[in-house]
Structure 1
């Protein structure tokens, strides 16, 4: 917890001279020019924060208040310095002068105030809860933004980059629903690259920002984000050199061992330290059948999690013991109720719940929606279907694109079960507690509390952990939450996933910091 405590001392951070240097330093050896081709799968529905793929886009087109260094310490970006009051109830950001939105308008504190209060707090499923303590943002002048807090909130120091604290141009968003604003499809940002074109189903093109506030430091001429849904075509494009960078594990894990030996390619697992996903199986608790704990426990006993890791992820995953992954060592515990693979126990529980096999051997027919993030997640859903079939459950798979998947699960709530993953992010308050908080049941908000789980005890624990500044007490609260989540079992925590990228050896300057996947591509260049 030393790192997190250190982050809380904003005044001390602002006093360090190295924090005033530009975040991007162009290496002398960098080759200027060229087009970096990035495979983006799945194609996002918009630039706004509804998917990890949108985050990769957004980091290059828009800047945040800060970025983070290799130790996850905040480094100035749109904010060039900051200070925090001794009582922790205000944080003052001094904003960089001379920054322009891509349409020529000035970036000001009004953009920060609007974005935090009207967008991040209200509709960002990850960062919104972390900003609950921010009750106002004062703007005494165009270059000063003061966050006013109702209580200390150490987690804020983990979410100030563009990946979480999305700063939008107020002049294009104010008075609209930000989730459906048409500028989400042709985004205007402050970042190193300027949006040029979105050919749906084909590519998104961004070009070097020649008026970037950091100067003429971007080596690449442009970045083309290609959409290649077919896994075979994706592999062929990589091996032929037509694609230079494929992030977020969209290459089949079965091919990773072979790709490590392909000349000219590199498999990289660094850069995902704040994106450790827990893959889970969610029940719609509004369905009467899933309100019986015996049914949920039977499903858990029917799934061989180690088999799932080995068969579908080829070792690039391991069984989860709860909702907080072991990568968050300061909060994680393995001492939670477990549901070992035991088909006999699963059958007995289903019998006890009154779900006996019919003449065709089926006890229950339900639908299941697979997270639409590539072939591996569809294969995982097929593994789950076969596992449950052995105990008499007919899991009927439904495969949708991203937008209809999000609408069906989080807006219509019209599903029986689904499988997905949430990134634990830099702190459980961002990526874990929203799965279990009653306040996170927000119709239409993607990646929120999909099950509809509501438990006053869980809410009390989550609320207390949000404001607890003593590291050990906060740890114990989150251990209690893990235990309760495993006991109540609104969701089966299946695996901890290891994300990876495949890239050409021509790609240089790509960040491998803990949040590298979400950083701008402004320092990347292509070797000849």
Structure 2
């Protein structure tokens, strides 16, 4: 039965077109164009409740040590009103076009300039992309499984796979590759390129999450002909099209011939990175690791249509003050925002646009299987969870805006498994703030005033609020008996520690959310180099999720993972939080708040002029 996209989008979530809960999850036989609907739960509400004067004073003391916050308010207060106003064309359903020439496209706007906290390598190689890389990678590469421009549903009309059909028992999938697709040098996209790409994504050169998930499923890829292939699964993979689409962790199609004739080596990766091959309306014109990426209009794309802008500049500017100052002068069009400044930005005519549930805030406690890790003791993990006044943090740092309580850092609140009551019961409620219970747990573990467990709050400034959150967590942990310090590292150091058991006695506290299926992230958080691989219950649940042959089996397995993650405090969560963006006057809302994708900023409806 094909699983690509129904002629009319089904309503009412999964149950409306699944029928019996015990049936394999797939789309109706008419799927070919508009995709399988996916629903997820996103509720935004304010946290409230009385807090002690002492804790508020602790927070005020933290803020007083950060004078830049007040200088930003002053800077925004004098923002000029002279933003340029331009009409914007919105994305619509594409038609396959055989004309790649830009000469047939409308006149383009000169430039779109974006700045955020993007600690990216900004690699033009698709296999080196991360979850947040969809912001720019989808604009210059073609995903295997398409998603509609607003990232709401899997939609075969926007990917290389024209249709697909699960094999009996979900032991594999047959896939038809769309005819007429080309890379930007004019060579055809074929099933051989897809097979090569799948194999490359399972190597050490790919991100740990996607490689781990693919290896966990166990793929055997067979090319049938130029436009058909078969993939056998060692285990079932009910969420395969969703998990590996731009909704979660997209697999992009790479030219086998252009990639050193199919070579999978560091030399081949670097050669492609130096002179990349695009397959979209834009191409990579310039980039610098952890600094910026510049895209330029390249062609009238057969799926995404004409590029709206001649150039798109995406910059990693981590300092809020610098972003806001450049936004004020008109040097930037879209910037990662700060909740403290929302009122002032609105006052000068700019817009506030949010991406719901973009981040999961809580404690990420890794490598609990390592012997010298104090967090090997479950009591210390629970003590840390009880030590944190997450309601106060939500009210102060996040201003209660776009904050929804959630008791697991992983799996997230956007998972399809929220339809399963066991899943919601497991992760729906955070650990209560209870410093007395935290002290009791530390005492039971043999700690006290003369013996305080030394732990580190580690981050690498992936997100705008990370520094403020670290500064709020530290005194709360120390108040109950921990000896907590703060350490900021870069992503390379994070990777080194991850691979060398260097995350012991460490708490991380900020992660990405916003995905409808969480299998890749579950492999990362609960297996591999960082997960509790010693916990047989967790590993069995993970195997059930990856081997599920029905949606019901998958959701039950994710409920088990959530239960262990919460109850054994491997991943005690506090809340999900939306990402805030400031947008200059003249750029209307392009539907970012509709996105169910994992990336923080979906630009496609704004920058691709798709035609009916």
TM-score by length of 1: 0.83
Seen in structure 2, the aligned counterparts of structure 1 residues 130 and 155 have a Cα distance that, compared at 3 Å, is farther
The question of 1:67 aligning with 2:146 is answered: yes
Seen in structure 2, the aligned counterparts of structure 1 residues 511 and 148 have a Cα distance that, compared at 3 Å, is farther
**Deviation by residue 1:435-463 (Cα, 9 ceiling, x = unmatched):** 12xxx314xxxxxxx25443111122222
Q: Counterparts of 1:435 and 1:197 in 2: how far apart (Å)? A: 33
Q: Counterparts of 1:109 and 1:66 in 2: how far apart (Å)? A: 13
* 2:31 aligned residue: 13
**Deviation by residue 1:92-143 (Cα, 9 ceiling, x = unmatched):** 3332344333455443222211111231476444444554445222223233
2:32–2:157 CA contact under 8 A, matched in 1:
no
Q: Counterparts of 1:54 and 1:78 in 2: how far apart (Å)? A: 17
Which runs of structure 2 are paired with 1:339-418 in the superposition (5 Å)?
A: 339-358=431-450, 363-411=452-500, 413-418=502-507
| Pairing partner for 2:182 from 100, 106, 121 | 100
Seen in structure 2, the aligned counterparts of structure 1 residues 484 and 200 have a Cα distance that, compared at 3 Å, is closer
Match of 2:250, SS state, is coil
Which runs of structure 2 are paired with 1:116-515 in the superposition (5 Å)?
A: 116-120=198-202, 123-128=206-211, 130-131=213-214, 132-133=216-217, 135-162=219-246, 163-170=249-256, 171-172=258-259, 174-177=262-265, 181-182=269-270, 183-184=272-273, 187-199=276-288, 202-210=291-299, 212-214=301-303, 217-246=306-335, 250-263=336-349, 265-270=350-355, 272=356, 275=358, 277-285=360-368, 286=370, 287-315=372-400, 316-322=402-408, 323-328=410-415, 329-331=418-420, 332-335=423-426, 339-358=431-450, 363-411=452-500, 413-419=502-508, 420-423=510-513, 425-432=515-522, 434-436=524-526, 440-442=527-529, 450-508=530-588, 510-512=590-592, 513-515=594-596
2:154–2:245 CA contact under 8 A, matched in 1:
no
Deviation at 1:90, TM superposition (A): 4.2
TM-score by length of 2: 0.73
Seen in structure 2, the aligned counterparts of structure 1 residues 186 and 354 have a Cα distance that, compared at 3 Å, is farther
Query: Which consecutive aligned stretches of 4+ in structure 1 deviate over 6 angstroms post-superposition?
Result: 15-20
Deviation at 1:223, TM superposition (A): 0.5
Match of 2:309, SS state, is coil
| Pairing partner for 1:33 from 109, 113, 117 | 109
Seen in structure 2, the aligned counterparts of structure 1 residues 520 and 411 have a Cα distance that, compared at 3 Å, is farther
2:327–2:333 CA contact under 8 A, matched in 1:
yes
In terms of mean alpha carbon deviation, does 506-515 or 374-383 score higher?
506-515
Seen in structure 2, the aligned counterparts of structure 1 residues 50 and 220 have a Cα distance that, compared at 3 Å, is closer
Seen in structure 2, the aligned counterparts of structure 1 residues 416 and 222 have a Cα distance that, compared at 3 Å, is same
| Pairing partner for 1:79 from 151, 154, 160 | 160
Seen in structure 2, the aligned counterparts of structure 1 residues 97 and 235 have a Cα distance that, compared at 3 Å, is same
* 2:74 aligned residue: none
Deviation at 1:495, TM superposition (A): 2.4
In terms of mean alpha carbon deviation, does 102-111 or 488-497 score higher?
102-111
Deviation at 1:196, TM superposition (A): 1.0
Give structure 2 stretches of 5+ with no counterpart: 1-13, 20-24, 36-91
Seen in structure 2, the aligned counterparts of structure 1 residues 355 and 50 have a Cα distance that, compared at 3 Å, is farther
Deviation at 1:385, TM superposition (A): 0.8
Q: Counterparts of 2:439 and 2:199 in 1: how far apart (Å)? A: 50
Seen in structure 2, the aligned counterparts of structure 1 residues 318 and 523 have a Cα distance that, compared at 3 Å, is closer
1:424–1:430 CA contact under 8 A, matched in 2:
no
| Pairing partner for 1:110 from 184, 192, 210 | 192
Match of 1:334, SS state, is helix
Indicate the RMSD between aligned Cα atoms, in angstroms: 3.6
Aligned residues: 505
Seen in structure 2, the aligned counterparts of structure 1 residues 375 and 50 have a Cα distance that, compared at 3 Å, is same
Match of 1:153, SS state, is coil
* 1:57 aligned residue: 136
